[in-house]
Chains A and B, each alone.
Chain A
């Protein structure tokens, strides 16, 4: 602080600022919001995103009062609420005095710049420190004191430390940082808009990037750097303590350990705030009694200030000037205002600051998009445009709020309004002119993002720059939303007539939209930003839900007209006559205006009605949902797990009219009673079809449809072994729209078709579908399976009871290729239509149809059907298909079908499904995977999906715990083997590291059960089934040896094909034991990895390397701080093993290994002798044991 500073004057400034801020309604509104948030946390309505624990009934629950939980609460509350309000209060502290013109008088007193600036800053800071203290009180009140019987299990013992430490480590630095940076920005620039936008930008950067961007391939050093620069500290908390779930017991009882780096970063965050204030003080002192810098050019050109003393010569009279005046037309006024606004914008530093931030934020999200198995996606113009749209419209809308309000307030703020308001230019011209300037802001942002996108595409170098998708997405879809939002802000200002209320109204409306989005309640009416409603497909440009999308954009534009008219009518050109708040609100005038607006509202009302109609007749419409709910209610008790006949043969003729999104089906099912009881009734679930006709054994039949299940009662009951044929014909059309867009997993659109037999949407389904009509309110607890549930006959997890034969005749437009299951036995063009017949050459468990306009690439008994524009990865994918067919055939079982096809479908969904012989891939799987020689990602996803031909089709897993692991886990295992076989050991290791990392990131330790008991119903089960399952099967293969393992697997598939008793993990482990050479090791392995939950976690310490006569001796201490007992290799290593085979290592890789066996919490000293000088020690260098935090099991010497 400056010399000669008076503590008394400084404290006076502090007191004045503190008192002023404590009296501001915004401070108390903030505390109210804090109270609501804390209350929400206390009753479970608001959840801390990272809570550990088992959410199932009776599971262990995380305490809300633990230091970990409170650190999260404080972090979020401080950063989301305190940082915004504190930044605004601090940023405006000096600006406010300038606007009030109090500065000159204040600075004519002995008050120094330092006293003034630091006093202001400390005053604001003190306000929010008091706010933090009150937050502490609120947390103690809601979390500990107020009775809440529903949340007792989340309350631990009261410990003041748990509250205080997070406030000091998280809350305080955030507040100092927010106050200091915003104070610096406000004091230096004296522009309120920068002050308002700064915390929003910070929040977006953190929320959309720092807190969420954690791909598995991220370099740990980059990750660490991001943790330390995150002013909220939330990323550090997430990555350090929650990335790997340590279990409820740990979180509930242990304090947070703040590592040195993080503590230093918190100090750094505080220093940034203080230095920013210090710089602001210096700047303020320099500019206090000067008129600022004068450039050389300006100094030369400007007339000295004495100019106002120059006496002008006497001139002619005013009348001689011949002036006339007439009010400018709308267009002239508009042009003039727009010109002036643009000049103002050009001199606005915000534009130059925010546009790059928008580009960075928007493209950051779009460029870092990841697809299946965390694989990065190849960017195309369309995917880039859609992925960027959400961020772009969010940021531009917020920017428009601030720019629009500041633009509308400009005349008042500069004092120009007293002249401006009495000018003959119309309100329409003024608003239109300002709107155009805002349009330039929008277009600047969009243009800059487009430029960034173009550069990104050029750098990527694989996909050309096509501007059309950008024009469609940003021009036709995004801009109407921006126009409507701008008009809404204008209308809000016209009602509010002041800056802060307008902010309140518009941000509340924006917040309400966010709330609806977060609670999944947006629909085609209120989703004006189109958040989550769009799915880009290069193959099918917005064909799905197109009507609703068009109506939505027209609705938004019609609202824009209404808002604009309202804004023009009520735009404040003169101060109102009001003596009270109610009077100022002018309710009578507003109601009159609304009444007069009714004709204008007719268009949006009609459009909204049209949207509602579209939704109501669509798949999520009330009628469809009621029907589904009735179906569930009337059939659940009767038909769940009821014995059903098996579908043995299906003959289906399906004529598809993609342009009309319609289809017509004629066919028959051969049903065989494979049960040991007689079946008197045979239920079929059907879709929303028309013109339905039914036959049983060739005779016309009329099923009982009272319960929305079509129940056939044959004249002769179906005895065990008997069969009957049910014939059917019907037509269907995809009507209406979904409620909120976002794509679909199966569809008929003009450019592509995906139909499957998994549900009753397209084809009759035998039995009752337990998924129909189930929503959150009637969702049952997951089924509890007995320990010996696998005894007896286990039904299949999916597909038909037994493999069946299928013959499908598919009629499509002539330019379509229609793929079905089996072998294509005919294809002809008749009457301009293509008729393709597919017949299974070996039984299948399900069938599907994938059709579209395809190019084809064929391999050795394989074929890839893809959009001509998506040839980027086809060579790698067909290679993977060929390799998979060959090697999986060798390892697991010969491929029984003639052709193995992959067909691409529009990315209305992002999945792949391994139907027998006819695998369907979304564009986003494989075809648009960003694959490079060293990552092999397209190979990876193709291999996984192809493995399902064996693990999922030939071996159809059983229903119940662990069944799906034989499908997904085995497919990952097969992928790991194939990568190693085809690409080499290193890619195989890299794949194992990838799935190990996904498992570590996504597991929920308290909810995790053994592989044998994992059924997909618990949090974190997916990664257990896929990633842990895959790695464990690979470790078993490693343990047993390839020959024994493959022999066992081959026999396992053979045994379970055509077997009504479908396999689960129990069957697998019993079967494979017979092939184990060391049964003891096998049993120990199975006990640990299949029947228990263990994960080792290794640490190295005390490593040193000394030269010996024969070479080098490295000693090290290795500890297993995790669980499980495994033989583990420890290696002294030098050199690198680059993944890219074309890359030369800096030094040749050499490793000397020793193997130890370490149990849980055990340590051992290891000595490794090597002929070379190692530079590091690595535990498990070849990635053979699944473990946590592998990166920490390496130490440089």
Chain B
């Protein structure tokens, strides 16, 4: 069990990044969903032991890892949001180096294990290329390979799907889902789909605070019957923005489509009821409808 208690982080300025976050995360996948700058990465860094909090504690199975991060690192898999590698090493050499530093072993030997991991992140063909020649997505996959290596008790992945194409994203989902069966995985993302696909529970972050902790289905249920969708003209969209709570506005084949949150469930003229998505729920929450979720 990972327990986070009253975590506060203030950056020079002073800029408050976390304002007393408390959270309990059990085995399995847990998502942190929030916009950029909400404090997700700050919390991930603190949990990973690479950033000192201003106050508060992080406990893993009763061990205070804030005070002794070195006790966490041997059982941690960590994929930061921003990272790099030694540019002059090949992908294979870099991963081997990291695995050795993490003390990872496998019956088939290090060389085979490196090859297997690279295969899982689809980097086998580029194993011999220098990391400096990798694309952004390839670097991300190499980061994923090192994070999932070993038998981490806690896996922290910060914006892991950034830069991945759809195919790779789904491959990664499968990897994470498998890993989450026997350990705690914390996934930080601003992509709602990541949470929708992977996380049975997640927390929504806004301005350094947890807005709510829920599950995707509960979040969707909380706004059931309150989402309406339809095609509108440009002037109509402008009018709706002024008078209604537009959760999403997007183009389909060149025409404006709009989704509106209507708490009273009465359909606005020209719009039809639709099943709520997790994105609707998230955007509603971001617009300040916290109470709705809590009620759910």
Contact = CB atoms under 8 A, between A and B. Distances in A.
Category for how many chain A residues contact B = 35 or more
A798 to B, nearest CB: 68
Contact of A415 (B9, B48, B82, B97): B82
A423 B102 contact: yes
Nearest to B141: A308
Contacts of A423: 73, 98, 101-102
B84 A415 contact: yes
A302 B128 contact: yes
B81 to A, nearest CB: 8
B138 A308 contact: yes
Contact of A312 (B89, B122, B152): B122
Given A318-B178, A575-B50, A291 B70 contact: no
Interface in A298-319: 301-303, 305, 307-308, 310-312, 315, 317-319
B97 A419 contact: no
Contact of A344 (B86, B120, B123): B86
Contact of B73 (A310, A337, A424): A424
Contacts of A310: 122, 125
A393 to B, nearest CB: 30
Given A322-B107, A573-B50, A315 B74 contact: no
A317 B178 contact: yes
Nearest to B138: A308
A323 interface: yes
A579 B13 contact: yes
A580 interface: yes
A311 B126 CA distance: 12
A420 B137 CA distance: 20
A415 B69 contact: no
Interface stretch (A325-333, A756-764, A999-1007, A1087-1095): A325-333
B51 A574 contact: yes
A257 B78 CA distance: 69
Interface in B218-240: none
Given A302-B128, A303-B128, A343-B89, A323 B101 contact: no
A573 B81 CA distance: 17
A328 B74 CA distance: 9
Contacts of A326: 74, 103, 105
A421 B175 CA distance: 24
Of the candidates A291, A303, A344, A422, the one having the most CB atoms from chain B within 10 angstroms of its own CB is A422
A591 interface: no
Of the candidates A310, A311, A318, A425, the one having the most CB atoms from chain B within 10 angstroms of its own CB is A318
A576 B9 CA distance: 11
A723 interface: no
A422 B101 contact: no
Category for how many chain B residues contact A = 35 or more
A321 B175 CA distance: 13
Contacts of A324: 104-106, 150-151
A576 B52 contact: yes
Contacts of B103: 325-328, 332, 424
Interface string B45-62: 100111111100000000
B80 interface: yes
Q: Is the interface of A mostly helix, strand, loop or mixed?
A: loop
Nearest to B176: A318
Contacts of B120: 312, 315, 318
Interface in B98-141: 98, 100-108, 113, 116-117, 119-120, 122-126, 128-129, 133, 135, 137-138, 141
A308 B135 contact: yes
Contact of B83 (A317, A321, A410, A416): A416
B254 interface: no
Nearest to A414: B84
Of the candidates B101, B107, B126, B137, the one having the most CB atoms from chain A within 10 angstroms of its own CB is B101
A343 B86 CA distance: 10
Contact of A574 (B52, B75, B146): B52
Contact of B151 (A317, A323, A426): A323
A1158 to B, nearest CB: 72
Given A305-B135, A575-B51, A579-B11, A322 B106 contact: yes
Contacts, number: 171
A777 B270 CA distance: 103
Interface in A268-320: 291, 301-303, 305, 307-308, 310-312, 315, 317-319
A419 B98 contact: yes
Contacts of B117: 321
A579 B13 CA distance: 7
A45 interface: no
Contacts of A424: 70, 73-74, 76, 101-103
B80 A418 contact: yes
B231 to A, nearest CB: 35
Contacts of A305: 133, 135
A308 B117 CA distance: 15
Interface in A1086-1142: none
A577 interface: yes
B82 A418 contact: yes
A325 B151 contact: yes
A248 B109 CA distance: 81
A311 B89 contact: no
A340 interface: yes
A328 B101 contact: yes
Contact of A318 (B52, B123, B138, B148): B148
A322 B151 CA distance: 9
B264 interface: no
A676 interface: no
Interface in B179-198: 179
Given A315-B120, A324-B105, A577-B52, A307 B126 contact: yes
A288 B119 CA distance: 33
A418 to B, nearest CB: 4
B149 interface: yes
A565 B28 CA distance: 40
Nearest to B10: A579
Contacts of A579: 10-14
A410 B128 CA distance: 22
Contacts of A415: 82-85
A16 B56 CA distance: 43
B106 A323 contact: yes
Contacts of B82: 415, 418
Contact of B104 (A303, A325, A337, A418): A325
B153 to A, nearest CB: 10
Given A311-B167, A419-B143, A318 B49 contact: no
A336 B100 contact: yes
Interface string B12-24: 1110000000000
B97 A414 contact: no
Given A343-B89, A422-B76, A325 B137 contact: no
A831 interface: no
A323 B146 contact: no
A323 B125 contact: no
A715 interface: no
A578 interface: yes
A157 interface: no
17 contacts: A291-B133, A303-B129, A321-B113, A322-B108, A325-B149, A326-B105, A327-B74, A328-B102, A332-B100, A344-B88, A419-B80, A419-B83, A420-B101, A422-B48, A426-B70, A576-B52, A579-B13
Interface of B: 9-14, 45, 48-54, 69-70, 73-76, 78-89, 97-98, 100-108, 113, 116-117, 119-120, 122-126, 128-129, 133, 135, 137-138, 141, 143, 146, 148-152, 167, 171, 175, 178-179
Ranked nearest first, the 10 interchain pairs of A and B with the lowest CB-CB distance are: A415-B84, A325-B150, A418-B80, A327-B74, A424-B74, A307-B125, A577-B52, A424-B73, A312-B122, A414-B84
Given A310-B122, A312-B171, A321-B113, 14 more contacts: A322-B108, A323-B150, A325-B149, A327-B74, A333-B101, A336-B100, A340-B97, A344-B86, A418-B50, A418-B80, A422-B48, A422-B50, A424-B74, A573-B69
